[in-house]
Amino acid sequence: MTTAKDKFESKKLPMMPIRDVVIFPFMMTPFVVGRESSVRALEEALAADKKIFLATQHDASIDEPKASEIYQVGTIANIVQSLKLPDGNVKVLVEGIERGKLLQATDTEGYLEATVRVARYTIESGPAVQQSMQRVTGLFEQYVKLCQSLNYETMISAVKMEDPAKLTDIIAANLQLSIEEKQELLEIFDPVERLTRIGDVLDIEIEKLNVDRSIQSRVKRQMEKAQKEYYLNEKIKAIQKELGRGEKSEFDELKKKIESAGMPKDVKEKALQELKKLEAMPPMSAESTVSRNYLDWLLAVPWKKKSKEIRNITRAEKTLNEDHYGLEKIKERILEFLAVRQLVKNPKGSILCFVGPPGVGKTSLGMSIAKATGRKFVRMSLGGVRDEAEIRGHRRTYIGALPGQIIQMMKKAGTKNPVFMLDEVDKMSMDFRGDPSAALLEVLDPEQNYMFVDHYLDVEYDLSQVFFVATANVLHTIPPALQDRMEVLRLHGYTEPEKVEIAKQFLIRKQTEQAGLSSKNISFSEDAITGLIRAYTREAGVRNLEREIGNVCRKVARKVVKEGAAYHADITAENLDDFLGVAKFRDTMAHEKSEVGLVTGLAWTEVGGSILSTEVTVVDGKGKLTLTGKLGDVMQESAQAAMSYIRSRANRLGLSRDFYRSLDLHVHVPEGAIPKDGPSAGITIATAIASALSKIPVRRDIAMTGEITLRGKVLPIGGLKEKLLAAHRAGIFEVILPKDNEKDLAEVPENLRSAMKLHFAETMDQVLQFALEGPLPEIIETPTQPIGALTPDTPGAPTAHQ
């Protein structure tokens, strides 16, 4: 670093002490001059070469500082502009030229005259100076960026200069430093030394600014958050006030409700805890809605409220009889069940399950039980329930979560000991979302159900005082574990006389009342009821019968409104169609013509017994067996077995032994929309095939049911009573049954049995004898193959079209 002090020079100049500012060379500064001595010095300078020496006072508050109270180093400046203000002050704009040291100040004619020594330096620029300048320029750029009060653009252009003296002074002038710090920089005459010093100062200042900035932004963030919360809270309070909702009272009320709900201790604690959380939440937030809903549910389920139970069995018997005709055995079982429940504290596996076709009174028996025991009644349909969550609810973390059906129904019941009907347990299915029957098992298990946990409520709920009753159309689709828990009571379809009685004693009265009529407005003759049953319904129960009676009543109600309260309608067999339109069913099938290949079978379905026609047609072909009409696997196998039997009997039917090679058979069971399955159509299909091949018609007034073996034996079937009822409903009074079912006749009501002509068959041959209109052709030759030697696997045997 090479600097050389060139020369010293002394000058005499008017001097002006300045306050609160240090003026550097190259710096343009405007200020107002007020002191008289200063104005005098200014005038003196303006009169001469406009040069003036400016030096800063130690203490700004002193008006007439002595020379010792002024810094010794100042700046010689050029007065660029001056303007006399009306108040006597003068506004000036000065430009710093060079620094100077005060050697002497003398008071002359009212102002100070200074003798100032200036020092001029020439700098031999070298790499060290260059480096130093780069460092300072870089640091200054950083400084400007951090320091918001400086204009970046102007500052950066200002420092793009080669002269270190000028560079340092411009930077020094623009740094935000105290007067002392600036004065210190002004007092360094050597530009290179100044360069170093400025670098150091910048380093420190940048560091300070960085710290400031991080503190500032942290403080700012905190301030903003606190302010925002405060603002929002105030706003909410104002809104609540506007709405007239004192938030306090609402929480108080909830608290009161929780205290008095009769919850178990831990549930109460949980509820209070939730309430505390709710109080802390912003009232309009989504989370507070969730929390509030949850509390509402906790408060809505019954915790202690109970119906007072009626334990009088005689009274219960009376209620059951008042509500239902017949069903003697069922009522007896129910009463026994009620008695045992009273004696045994925790009866095991003790839930009643009514199984039977629709409309036989399962649901209404459940309601009767509730009435007889003084309990509330609720019903939950399990038909189509496939998700565990439907029973047990969703966890509260799900959006829109709700409790499951069990808890929802308990809320509906409002008491903790209702009769709870689980309708259609046989229609429950299971998929990937979990097995609902497992959840149901827990609900029904007396060892577990006193602490049933719904996913949503998430607290233990006691179901042990609930009286569960289940209903189902069929038993076989109910999971075995569930069946084990249940006491099964089977309800069968009603016979025609029973339906007539039910209509007379219950349904007509009920529907008349529901239509707003009295017995003065309407009466049904017995023939009309029979007509309704035969021509407008074909069902095991009485649901449609009740509906049709209701339809008649509503038609009459319209007339009453039109013609006056005195209107009376006598419903007879003759005028039924005036009310209900043409009959839906023809009276009987028995009068229809017998046909080749058309057989009436009997099936047992979910809706009770039904008749199921089977048609077979034969066409030229290659031995194909086609089956249509939505037949299940078991039924398809039955058809195969029937075919095997027919082939083994070819010669008896007057067929050549390889008849099937040139024929195609098509077996069709109409009403194709309803899936059919089960083996009991075996003899029906075999008879239809035999008839189609032998061209002998089948009696239309006879129905049949029975399983067939490959060897032509007839095996027993289930649902005897239902099937006989179905035949009777269809007007068919002659039925072929398996011999082995003879013992089951005990379950068939006497009046039904005596109305029917029953044939019991052990073999298919006997079935054909009963069913075919004509005798089979004479035996031409004895079978060369033993019966049953053919199986569906025999090569060349017809195969089912699957």
Ligand X SMILES: Nc1ncnc2c1ncn2[C@@H]1O[C@H](COP(=O)(O)OP(=O)(O)O)[C@@H](O)[C@H]1O
Q: Which does 375 bind (CB under 5 to 8 A by kind): Mg ion, ligand X, none?
A: none
CB of 541 vs Mg ion, minimal distance in Å: 9
How far, rounded to the nearest angstrom, does the alpha carbon of residue 666 sit from its chain's CA centroid?
49
Q: Closest residue (Cβ) to Mg ion?
A: 363
Q: How do strand 90-108 and strand 73-84 relate by DSSP bridges?
A: antiparallel
Query: Under DSSP, is residue 221 helix (H, G, I), strand (E, B) or coil?
Result: helix
Closer by beta carbon to ligand X, 186 or else 502: 502
Q: Which does 183 bind (CB under 5 to 8 A by kind): ligand X, Mg ion, none?
A: none
CB of 486 vs ligand X, minimal distance in Å: 16
- Report yes or no: 161 and 167 within 8 Å, Cβ to Cβ: yes
The residues that touch Mg ion, with contacts defined as CB under 5 A, are: 362-363
Closer by beta carbon to ligand X, 171 or else 360: 360
Q: Which of 649, 638, 639 is nearest to 787 (CA)?
A: 649
Whole-number Å distance between alpha carbons of 637 and 424: 30
For 81, the token pair is 């502009």
User: Within 243-351, where are the H helices?
Assistant: 247-260, 265-280, 286-300, 313-323, 328-343
Closer by beta carbon to ligand X, 323 or else 445: 323
The residues that touch ligand X, with contacts defined as CB under 6 A, are: 324-327, 358-364, 471, 502, 506, 541-543, 546
397 exposure class (CB count in 10 Å sphere: 0-12, 13-18, 19+): exposed
Closer by beta carbon to ligand X, 317 or else 458: 317
Q: Give the CA angle between residues 322, 327, 331 to the nearest 5°.
A: 70
- Report yes or no: 471 and 362 within 8 Å, Cβ to Cβ: yes
Phi, psi of 471 (to 5 degrees): -135, 155
Alpha-carbon separation of residue 248 from 6, 112, 221, 288, 485 (angstroms): 86, 78, 31, 15, 50
For 518, the token pair is 């009295």
Q: Which residues of 316-348 are buried (b: 16+ CB within 10 A; e: fewer)?
A: bbebbeebbbbbeebbebbbebbeebeeeeeee
CB of 421 vs Mg ion, minimal distance in Å: 8
- 680 a catalytic residue: yes
Alpha-carbon separation of residue 477 from 17, 443, 514 (angstroms): 110, 19, 36
Phi, psi of 600 (to 5 degrees): -95, 115
CB of 546 vs Mg ion, minimal distance in Å: 12
Q: Which does 685 bind (CB under 5 to 8 A by kind): ligand X, Mg ion, none?
A: none
Closer by beta carbon to Mg ion, 72 or else 363: 363
DSSP state of 679: G
Whole-number Å distance between alpha carbons of 762 and 709: 11
For 116, the token pair is 């100032």
Closer by beta carbon to ligand X, 168 or else 511: 511
Whole-number Å distance between alpha carbons of 675 and 630: 5
Q: Give the CA angle between residues 576, 577, 580 to the nearest 5°.
A: 90
353 exposure class (CB count in 10 Å sphere: 0-12, 13-18, 19+): buried
CB of 475 vs ligand X, minimal distance in Å: 14
Closer by beta carbon to Mg ion, 424 or else 498: 424
CB of 242 vs ligand X, minimal distance in Å: 53
CB of 471 vs Mg ion, minimal distance in Å: 6
Whole-number Å distance between alpha carbons of 367 and 671: 35
Handedness of CA 506, 507, 513, 519 (dihedral sign): negative
CB of 559 vs ligand X, minimal distance in Å: 24
Say which of 638, 680, 691, 694 is annotated catalytic.
680
Four-point Cα dihedral 103, 106, 112, 116, nearest 10 = -20
Closer by beta carbon to Mg ion, 360 or else 440: 360
Q: Count how many Cα atoms sit within 13 Å of the Cα of residue 57 in the half-sphere of its side chain.
A: 14
Q: Which does 455 bind (CB under 5 to 8 A by kind): ligand X, Mg ion, none?
A: none
Closer by beta carbon to ligand X, 324 or else 376: 324
Closer by beta carbon to ligand X, 326 or else 792: 326
Q: Which does 707 bind (CB under 5 to 8 A by kind): Mg ion, ligand X, none?
A: none
Closer by beta carbon to ligand X, 38 or else 319: 319
Query: Under DSSP, is residue 254 helix (H, G, I), strand (E, B) or coil?
Result: helix
CB of 723 vs ligand X, minimal distance in Å: 19
Rg of the chain (C-alpha set): 55
CB of 474 vs ligand X, minimal distance in Å: 13
Q: Which of 538, 549, 554, 541 is nearest to 576 (CA)?
A: 549
CB of 764 vs ligand X, minimal distance in Å: 37
- Report yes or no: 150 and 30 within 8 Å, Cβ to Cβ: no
Closer by beta carbon to ligand X, 263 or else 517: 517
Q: Which does 359 bind (CB under 5 to 8 A by kind): Mg ion, ligand X, none?
A: ligand X
Q: Closest residue (Cβ) to ligand X?
A: 361
* Other residues' Cβ atoms within 10 Å of the Cβ of residue 643: 25
CB of 360 vs Mg ion, minimal distance in Å: 9
Whole-number Å distance between alpha carbons of 557 and 100: 122
Q: Which does 143 bind (CB under 5 to 8 A by kind): Mg ion, ligand X, none?
A: none
CB of 309 vs ligand X, minimal distance in Å: 23
Q: Which does 546 bind (CB under 5 to 8 A by kind): Mg ion, ligand X, none?
A: ligand X
276 exposure class (CB count in 10 Å sphere: 0-12, 13-18, 19+): exposed
Q: Which does 361 bind (CB under 5 to 8 A by kind): ligand X, Mg ion, none?
A: ligand X
* Other residues' Cβ atoms within 10 Å of the Cβ of residue 634: 15
Closer by beta carbon to Mg ion, 362 or else 723: 362
Q: Which does 706 bind (CB under 5 to 8 A by kind): ligand X, Mg ion, none?
A: none
Q: Which residues are catalytic?
A: 680, 723
